[in-house]
Amino acid sequence: MTDPNEALIIGGGPAGAAVGILLARSGREITIAEKSSTTHDKVCGEFLSGEAVQYLAQLGLDIRALGAAPIYGVRLARRERIAECELPFPAMALTRRKLDEALLELATHEGVYVRRGVRIDGLRRRQAVWSAQVADGEALQARSVFLATGKHDLGGWRRPKGKQNNLVAFKMYFALVTAQQNALRGWIELGLFPGGYAGLQLTEDGNANLCLLVNQKRLRACGGDWQTLLAYILDFSEHMAERLEGAVPQLQKPLALSSIPYGMLLHDSEPDLWRLGDQTAVTPSFSGDGMSIALHSAKVASDLYLNGGTSAELAARLHRELRGSIALATTTSRLMIAAPELAHLLRVWPQLLRVLGTRTRVPQTALVG
C-alpha cells in the first residue's frame, strides 16, 4: 500500500471546500475528491444568511465581487401577502454555480489538491487507515476522512431518515418581467400552499430562483408533473401568480431532489471520520441556514483537527450547538405544511417572523470568529 494521505475530503461543496481551505492554510496536505467535473446548478434556494456571509468573509471570499445580491427583508404569503419584516441580519443571494466554484478555486489557490470528476463509491477503515473507493477502481488512502458529500449518501454510509422526510424539492430559474423583478429586489419571499411552500428571490444575474418543497401526497395529486404543480401553486397563491406572470423559465426542466432527511442531527461519529454539513445536520430549507451549518461545521472541524481533537468531539459539539435551532425549524416546517392557517398569526404579530428567523439558525454564541 502507498503511504496514505494525511486527510481526504470527500465532496467539494461549501463544507468540504471550506475545511480544505482552512487545513491547507495551516500547512496540511489535503486532497478533495469532488464528483462533478464542471460548474453546475444545485437544488438550493441560494440564500446566504448573515452567519454564512460572515464565514465566507473569514475565508477571504469576496462574494460582493462575485455579484452577490443583498437581501434585507422577508415576506410571507399564503393566498396573498400576510406579513413582512426586515431580516435580523444582512443576507445575500448568490448562485451555487458561482459560490461552489469560487470556493474550490480558493481551495486550489491555498494548495489543496482538488480532484474533479472523482466520485467515491465506498469507504472503509482498516488498521487506522481509511480507503476510499473511486468509481473507476482507484483507491485513495488517508488517515482521516472528512465526509462532506452533502445531500448524497456514500454507499454503506446512509444517514438516519430525519423527522420530516416526505418532501420533494424542485428548483427553477425564471426571468421576471421588469416590474416584478423590481418588486422582488432586496426580498426573500416565502409562499405557503396546501402541501408545501416555495421560496423566491433574485440572484446575481437578475433571474429569480424559485425553490419549493411539496409533500408526496400533493405531488401525486398533480400527477407527479412539474407544470401541473406550478399551475396549482399559482392558482392558489395570488402573490406568487403576480410575481411569475409573464416570467420565462430559464432551465429546460426543474432540478429535483427527494428523500431529504430534514431534522436529522448526528451526535456521534466513527474514529477519524469527520462528518460535515448536510452529512451531520439537515435543517429545513425555509430557514435558509444549511450553508451556514456547512461552513460552521467546517470551521469547528478544522479547529478541532488542528488542535488534536476528535471526530466524536466534533459530532457532540455540533449536536449541542444545533439541536435547539433544528428542532424549532423542523416543528415550524411541519406546521407550515400541516396547519398553514397558523401563518395568519403573523398578520397580527409580524415580529414572530423575525423571532423565527433568529431562532432557527446557528446560534450567535456558537459562531467561531
Ligand X SMILES: Cc1cc2nc3c(=O)[nH]c(=O)nc-3n(C[C@H](O)[C@H](O)[C@H](O)COP(=O)(O)OP(=O)(O)OC[C@H]3O[C@@H](n4cnc5c(N)ncnc54)[C@H](O)[C@@H]3O)c2cc1C
Q: Which residues bind ligand X (CB under 6 A)?
A: 10-16, 33-36, 43-47, 52, 119-120, 148-152, 154, 169, 211, 213, 257, 260, 276-278, 285, 288-292, 294
Residue 226 or 238 with smaller CB distance to ligand X: 226
Q: Please, which residue, 31 or 180, has the CB nearer to ligand X?
A: 31
Dmax (CA) of the chain? 67
* Distance of closest approach, residue 348 Cβ to ligand X, in angstroms: 27
Q: Which is nearer to ligand X, 87 or 213 (CB)?
A: 213
CA distances from 8 to 114, 231, 264 (A): 10, 45, 24
Find, among 207, 306, 318, 211, the residue nearest to 255 by Cα.
211
Compare residues 46 and 272 and give the one whose CB is closer to ligand X.
46
User: In angstroms, rounded to a whole number, what is the distance separating the alpha carbons of residues 208 and 228?
Assistant: 20
| Among candidate residues 335, 294, 337, 351, the one with its CA nearest the CA of residue 318 | 294
Q: Identify which of residues 154 and 176 has a Cβ nearer to ligand X in the complex.
A: 154
| Cβ neighbours of 189 (radius 10 Å) | 22
Q: What's the closest the beta carbon of residue 281 comes to ligand X, in angstroms?
A: 8
Amino acid identity for residue 55 in this structure = Y
Cell of residue 77, nine digits: 404569503
Given the complex with ligand X, which of 16 and 50 has the nearer CB atom?
A: 16
8 Å CB contact between 91 and 67 = no
CA dist., res. 287 & res. 269, Å (int): 26
Judged by beta carbon, residue 213 or residue 244, the one nearer ligand X is: 213
Q: Least distance to ligand X from the beta carbon of 34, Å?
A: 5
Which one, of 257, 256, 48, 254, lies nearest residue 153 by Cα?
257
The conformation of residue 252, written as its DSSP 8-state character, comes to S
Shortest Å, Cβ 174 to ligand X? 16
**Sequence-distant (≥ 6) Cβ neighbours of residue 54 within 8 angstroms:** 367
Closer residue to ligand X (CB): 155 or 246: 155
In the complex, least distance from residue 109 CB atom to ligand X, rounded to whole angstroms:
18
Contact by Cβ (8 Å): 152, 159: no
**Measured from the CB atom, is 178 or 216 closer to ligand X?**
216
Report the nearest approach of ligand X to the CB of residue 40 (Å). Answer: 8
The strand pairing partners of 213, in sequence order, are 169, 197
Q: What is the Cα–Cα distance from 99 to 187, expressed in whole angstroms?
A: 20
Torsions phi, psi for 197 (to 5 deg): -150, 155
CB of 155 to ligand X, least distance (A): 8
Task: Indicate the helix (H) or strand (E) that contains 250.
Answer: none
Minimum distance from residue 170 beta carbon to ligand X (Å): 8
Least CB distance from residue 328 to ligand X, whole Å? 16
Beta bridge partners of 81: 77
